Structure 1
Amino acid sequence: MIFRAVLIGMGCLLSGSASLAESAVAKLEYGTENNIAYYDAATLARADGYQKEQGKLDVYYPKGTKGFATVVWFHGGGLTGGSRYFPNLKDQGVALVAASYRLAPKAQPPAYLEDSAAAVAWVIKNIERYGGDPKKVFVSGHSAGAYLATMIAMDPKWLGAHKLSNQSLAGVIAVSGQMTSHFTVKKQRGDKGPELRPIIDEYAPLYHAANKFPPICLIVGGRDIEFKSRVEENELMAVTLRNLGHKSVEFYEMAGLDHGTVEQGAMIIMRGFMQRTLQGSGNE
């Protein structure tokens, strides 16, 4: 599905009379665990201090229930800044995992991709002990975080390094992510061309477009106020995936929201996408 939407009226995705399930969600209590190392002991033994420092995540989860979905969230910041935080999806009956990763210029590619994959792998392997379903793990993020999430979901080698399949993910939700090679990655790899000149190589999500990977939801702000080319790149990704035969692609352009404010608008869409995806796969 491809949509151009204004923010007004998008609440219909979540509106309606409260169901018994929604009432149960409202009564849940939530717990938080912070500063969990997501690399295994062997990796940490040979890691430098920066990798150990950044290789951490926080978990927010509903207590006293089982089988819930999880959103692994990567922060934005151009791959050069930012810090981990939970997206605005608390108290929704799902677990949230906020993961840090090494940043440029201190880290060189593919360090931030390796970290992101390790964080997702940790969640898949460990979320069940909190009550979550490892088959209901979504990867998501904003801006640079959306780039990382999309790369992990689309290029099988990153999770493959942890003996996991990218197809084991429930879905990917990219909020204003770059679909060509990220501008920081280009610069670090020696490209001296203009920042807006697109490169589609192994570090570009578009390079890995195929019909066999998890359901994907692409969300951007209005093309008149978003980052230049960001809407068009995501629209190209949606069209390309559909033309390749991918069966579950959603694209939303949220008019009136810019690169920063689209993150909050996206929260309206994310829950609906997750519900539709889980219902369609028979996992809910």
Structure 2
Amino acid sequence: MLHKTIVILFLIFAQFSASAQEYTLIKDISYREKNENDAYKKERCKLDLYLPQDKPNFATIVWFHGGGLEGGEKFIPLELKEKGVAVIAVNYRLSPKVQGPAYIDDAAAAVAWAFNHIASHGGDPSKIYVSGHSAGGYLALMVGLDKAYLKQYNIDANRIKGLAPVSGQTNTHYTIKKERGQSMEIPIIDQYAPLTFARKDAPPILLITGDPKLELPARYEENAHLAAVLENLKHPNIQLYQLQGFDHGGVYAPGCLLMLNWIEKQSK
């Protein structure tokens, strides 16, 4: 069922207190094969692992940074720290040094790494969520909806516990259109659009955007379109939130808190 909800500014704050647990941060883990000869892959295909200690079978959030697929660096969102979950912050290759779908493939490789390795760090591989802001949200959707990307790493995308993009594009990404010399104003829905791969059996999906008056052009409408398509396909667990008062850059912080609340409900 589609829940189309408008959330007022303070509604999602003060719900999560800091955990008393200890946490460990392991930086710059390569998620590609160590024998890769590509220097740029070796530089960018790394992740940081933020782990709760003395908490077995914790949930994990794979987090992709924003930056339009052309910039940005991995980071652990403050709002996800000390909340009882692990966070995997991922770097990926960027345009124009590479072109699509290279960065989508990197995202898939990082998610596959999470499935293959999180148990050895105490996490539950059946509780892996994939999220990100802006371009990172786009990557989360592409990896979770187009099953081909994870299949090449022998992972079924339906094993993902949930997808939670924050202000991600659901049409073909601007940067991919830029690489191909296409119009930045006219939307395209092709093999690089999450919408193309909407399906009934996809993992649970939480779509979060900011205020339509403050967001990037049609960003809320894109997400509403995906939600409507999924609802029409009878997807059983799709939620759409519009956060009033937040612009594109500011929405990721409250979006993270909303995601934590959603994850808690998914685990019940």
| TM-score between both structures, scaled by the size of structure 2 | 0.96
Check whether the contact 1:170–1:278 (CA below 8 A) recurs between aligned residues: no
CA separation in 2, counterparts of 1:47 and 1:210? 37
Following superposition, which runs of at least 4 residues in structure 1 exceed 4 angstroms of deviation?
Answer: none
Match of 2:6 in 1: 4
2:130 is the counterpart of 1:136: no
Quick one: which amino acid aligns to residue 92 of structure 1?
K
Contact 2:36–2:42 under 8 Å retained in 1: no
Equivalence for 1:214: 203
Provide the rounded CA distance (Å) in 1 between the counterparts of 2:206 and 2:239. 5
1:96 maps to amino acid: V
| Residues 13 and 254 in structure 2, CA contact (< 8 A), matched pair in contact too | no
Cross-structure match for 2:75: 85
Consecutive unaligned residues of structure 2, counting only runs of 5 or more, are none
Paired position in structure 2 for 1:253: 242
Quote how far apart the aligned CAs of 1:28 are: 1.2
User: Which residue of the other structure, out of 60, 69, 81, is the alignment partner of 1:70?
Assistant: 60
Give the number of the structure whose alpha-carbon radius of gyration is greater.
Answer: 1
Q: In the alignment, does 2:21 pair up with 1:28?
A: yes
Counterpart mapping for 1:1-284 below 5 A: 1-11=3-13, 14=15, 26-41=19-34, 45-87=35-77, 88-188=79-179, 190-193=180-183, 195-279=184-268
Q: C-alpha distance in 1, partners of 2:31/2:160?
A: 18
Pairwise CA distance, 1:9: 2.2
Conservation of the 8 A alpha-carbon contact between 2:109 and 2:153: yes
Q: Could you tell me how far apart the structure 2 residues matched to 1:252 and 1:192 are? A: 30
Contact 1:2 1:249 in 2 (8 A): no
Q: Aligned residue for 1:18?
A: none
Distance 2:59 2:36 in 1: 33
Amino acid at match of 1:76: G
| 1:243, distance to aligned residue in structure 2 (A) | 1.0
Unmatched runs of 5 consecutive residues or more in structure 1: 16-21, 280-284
Please give the per-residue CA displacement for 1:130-178, whole angstroms capped at 9, x wherever unaligned: 1100010000000000000110000000110100100000001010000
Is this contact kept in 2: 1:74–1:84, CA < 8 A? yes
**Paired-residue identity, %:** 42
2:196 partner amino acid: Y
For 1:179 and 1:47, how far apart are their aligned partners in 2? 33
Opposite residue 126 of structure 1, the aligned amino acid is H
Q: 8 Å contact 2:65–2:132 — kept in the other structure?
A: yes
Instruction: State the distance in 1 between where 2:7 and 2:137 align.
Output: 20
Q: Match of 2:170, SS?
A: coil
What are the superposed Cα offsets for residues 199-218 of structure 1, whole Å, 9 maximum, x if unpaired? 00010000001111100001
Q: Deviations over 1:169-207 (max 9, x none)?
A: 00010100000000101121x2432x1211000100000
Q: What do you get for the CA RMSD once the two structures are aligned? A: 1.3
Deviations 1:232-279 (Å, cap 9, x if unpaired)?
000111111111110110100001000001011112211111011122
Q: Distance in 1 between matches of 2:39 and 2:174?
A: 26
Structure 1-normalised TM-score?
0.90
* Amino acid corresponding to residue 26 of structure 1 in structure 2: S
Partner SS for 2:264: helix
> Match of 1:176, as an amino acid?
S
Would you tell me which structure has more helix in proportion to its own residues? 1
Supply the AA of the counterpart residue of 2:50: Y
